Amino acid sequence: MAGDAILEVRDLVKHFPLTQGVLFKRQVGAVKAVDGVSFDLHKGETLGIVGESGCGKSTVAKLVTRLEAPTRGTIRYRGEDITRAHGRSLKAVRRNIQMVFQDPYTSLNPRMTVGDIVGEPFDIHPEVAPKGDRRRRVRELLDVVGLNPEYVNRYPHQFSGGQRQRIGIARGLALRPEIIVADEPVSALDVSVQAQVVNLMERLQDEFGLSYIFIAHDLSIVRHISDRVGVMYLGKIVEIGTESEIYEHPTHPYTQALLSAVPVPDPETEGRRERIVLEGDVPSPANPPSGCHFRTRCWKARQRCADEEPPLAVPENFAATLPDQPVHHPSACHFAAERVAVVPPAGV
Amino acid sequence: MTLLEVRDLHVEFRTRDGVAKAVNGVSYDVGAGETLAVLGESGSGKSVTAQAVMGILDMPPGRITGGQVLFQGQDLLTLPREERRRIRGARMAMIFQDALSALNPVLTVGYQLGEMFRVHQGASRKEAKAKAVELMERVRIPAARARVGDFPHQFSGGMRQRIMIAMALALEPDLIIADEPTTALDVTVQAQVMELLADLQREFNMGLILITHDLGVVADVADKIAVMYAGRIVETAGVKELYRSPAHPYTKGLLDSIPRLDQKGRQLNVIRGMPPNLLEIPPGCPYNPRCPLARAVCRADDPPLYDVAAHRASACHFWEEMFDGR
């Protein structure tokens, strides 16, 4: 499953300037949407990124696809620095890193037919499909995502939400990319339709050897689809590891609180869970707290947390554990500790 | 006496393309201190039913074509407008999903909370403001006295939802209808708001109708569940029974199709197809085109709600098969 890293992201930073004044704009601050994010994506794996609204997860998606230019940091695709790529080299990168958007209603042009939407990537990258062959390729793509190829001449409004998301996925697949960045691809869909799209994405991954960056706020879906998971809070990754490390042995208090807050659709499990209810709201990313960003809501916070920012590394107290121990994974907390049974296993 | 009884409610919408049958014979009841969860996907009729109960359905295009809404024994659908208005807000109140659009952006939250007392109880401005502060404290908004003059946009999503809850509670109603109260909130805030709502319900012994599409939220707080599909109730049961052994294939399909935090599996079971178009609900059982159990009879006869056990009902011809083999 996991091979070489095809995407390496290091210390990625994106600050959006806050300005004041109309004629003489001066910068009065910055929204630190992404504030030092690093991760690797391996061939054929799914990296899930979870976090609450405003944590910067969607900005990460836009930076990786180069829809936004990062303030600092590097993004390497197959060893090549694409952080400042432009013109022809950027075009080549984009062919290989495609995006699927959240809202299947606004991400498809209502005046274009499905055939035109799915075939549009070929206009920009004509080398992928010669002109005469496009019609056939589009029909093939529709078939692959489970839509009737006869629908090429229909318009987006003639489809349901789930079908539209399939169209968005077909468009993402058109150029045979290696990486697909999916930003909340199922959260706008009805519950009974979400599973169809998740299963489709898993099947396509096996079929085409795709790597996914799967961004969502729904922790259950992220667990289901991901091999590794990164948890974001206020512009930073606070904990990252394999799916079972994060979900069964989280050591960061934010991850623990987040997991304990997710309701489980089973009253018997639900009754046995200990819930950590966090106080207050996420602070503004324009003015994040000093030291550890989570300290204002953390029940473990002490003076050290305000003075010193914890690095994202295997915590000191677990450094002596063997690398194959589940607690041996990066967690940005001075007082990282395991907590028993945040999510008790089902059926016990 | 039951607090609220909805009997055989029918609601339709006249549209350019035809008549959309949004609610087709829905019955449920809620007692004081009880929580009924109404579960369904978009278009299942769960919100329209609530709007009809509350008396805030847009008519036209909506039309109530049959049924009764008995609130403390009195049929609300036959009451004159003015009497209805006196009940709404005072004896039954509603919490909406999107607090930012439900609150007036150009009035302070203190003014909007106080309005309840000025309109329904004839309180003076000063009294109303004092009561607004009291309410904000009750829903645990920090520094309530300082924030009573703030506008809705100055609050975070979770705090705005608390203000909505405060407004619903203002006149200590007997019944609260919460329509997706936590859907727009982050999970950590969602937990805070649900806890608050449950505490207040206990304190005031209110009936609560919780409308949601989230099977997880329901598991924790509801006493009983009504599952809706295509404007009908397809299953009613106590929470534990419903999750342990669903008696309708749609409920089972829903439970099997959601990934669970406490389980890691590869393939999710899928409900094929999509929810029906309300302009042309399939004949027979509306779920038959998507149902793995469907047979000829399902395409011909719409199943009634069968009593399948004590306090349990299922609108499936083959409910007995749902209980076999487990």
Q: Which residue has the tokens 């200590």?
A: B172
Segment B144-148 long-range contacts (CB within 8 Å, at least 24 positions apart): B147/B109, B148/B108, B148/B109, B148/B110, B148/B113
Q: Which two tokens stand for residue B319?
A: 């409910």
Residues 261 through 280 of chain A touching chain B, CB cutoff 8 Å: 261-270, 275, 277-278, 280
For A113-124, write each residue's pLDDT tens digit: 999 999 999 988
Average pLDDT over residues B51-68: 88
Does B107 contact chain A (CB < 8 Å)? Answer: no
pLDDT on residue B239? 87
Does B187 contact chain A (CB < 8 Å)? Answer: yes
Nearest to A191 among B158, B244, B258 (CB): B258
DSSP state, B115? Answer: H
Q: Which residues have C-beta within 8 Å of that of residue A211, sequence separation ≥ 6? A: A6, A7, A41, A42, A43, A44, A45, A46, A47, A178, A179, A180
pLDDT on residue A2? 43
The class (CATH top level) of B4-100+174-323 is: alpha beta
Cβ B254–A191 below 8 Å, yes or no? Answer: yes
Q: Give the residue among A178, A181, A174, A175 at the shortest CA–CA distance from A77.
A: A178
Nearest to A199 among B261, B270, B274 (CB): B270
pLDDT on residue A1? 41
* Antiparallel, parallel or unpaired: β A46-50 and A211-216: parallel
Amino acid at B82: E
Q: Give the residue among B129, B139, B94 at the shortest CA–CA distance from B108.
A: B129
Residue of B nearest to A262 (CA): B187
Residue A97 belongs to some domain of the structure = no
* DSSP character string of B255-282: HHHS--TT---SSPP---S-PPPTTSPP
Q: What is the number of domains present in chain A? A: 1
Cβ A247–B264 below 8 Å, yes or no? Answer: yes
pLDDT on residue A318? 85
Based on C-alpha coordinates, what's the Rg of chain A? 21
Nearest 5°: the CA angle A212, A216, A217 is 160
Nearest to A193 among B240, B266, B274 (CB): B274
Does B213 contact chain A (CB < 8 Å)? Answer: yes
Domain ranges of chain B: 4-100+174-323
Single pTM value for the model: 0.81
- Give the residue numbers spanning the domain of A290: 253-348
* CA of A124 vs chain B CAs: smallest distance (Å): 34
Average pLDDT over residues B43-49: 88
**Cis before B276? omega within 30:** no
Q: Which two tokens stand for residue B155?
A: 């609050």
Weakest-pLDDT range from A1-10, A160-169, B96-105, B174-183: A1-10
Residue A337 belongs to some domain of the structure = yes
Does A210 contact chain B (CB < 8 Å)? Answer: no
* CA of A248 vs chain B CAs: smallest distance (Å): 9
User: What ipTM was assigned to the predicted interfaces of this complex?
Assistant: 0.72
Inter-helix orientation angle A134-144/A114-124, to 10°:
120
Q: How many angstroms separate the CA atoms of A65 and B108, rounded?
A: 42
Residue A170 belongs to some domain of the structure = no
Cβ B258–A261 below 8 Å, yes or no? Answer: no
Strand partners, A39: A9
Contacts of A343 in chain B (CB under 8 A): 261-262
Average pLDDT over residues B285-309: 89
Residues 120 through 149 of chain B touching chain A, CB cutoff 8 Å: 142
- Counting residues of chain B whose pLDDT is more than 90, the rounded percentage is 25
The stretches in chain A having pLDDT less than 70 are 1-3, 270-271, 340-348
Q: Which two tokens stand for residue B49?
A: 């039913």
Amino acid at A35: D
Q: Which residue has the tokens 């390496």?
A: A8
Contacts of A245 in chain B (CB under 8 A): none
Q: How many angstroms separate the CA atoms of A134 and A128, rounded?
A: 9
For chains A and B, CB pairs below 8 A equal 138
Residues 173 through 192 of chain A touching chain B, CB cutoff 8 Å: 190-192
**What are phi and psi for residue A281, nearest 5 degrees?**
-115, 170
Contacts of B181 in chain A (CB under 8 A): none
Residue A123 belongs to some domain of the structure = no
Does A227 contact chain B (CB < 8 Å)? Answer: no
Cβ B259–A269 below 8 Å, yes or no? Answer: no
Q: Which two tokens stand for residue A154?
A: 């229909």
Confidence of residue B266 (pLDDT cuts 50, 70, 90): low
Q: Is A162 within 8 Å of A189 (Cβ atoms)? A: yes
Residue A236 belongs to some domain of the structure = no
Does B260 contact chain A (CB < 8 Å)? Answer: yes
Strand partners, A232: A237
Residue A331 belongs to some domain of the structure = yes
Q: Which residues have C-beta within 8 Å of that of residue A126, sequence separation ≥ 6? A: none
CA A236 to the chain's CA centroid: 13
Q: Give the residue among B165, B157, B264 at the shortest CA–CA distance from A52.
A: B157
Q: How many angstroms separate the CA atoms of B278 and B284, rounded?
A: 14
Ramachandran class of A268: left when φ > 0, alpha when ψ lies in -120 to 50, beta otherwise: alpha
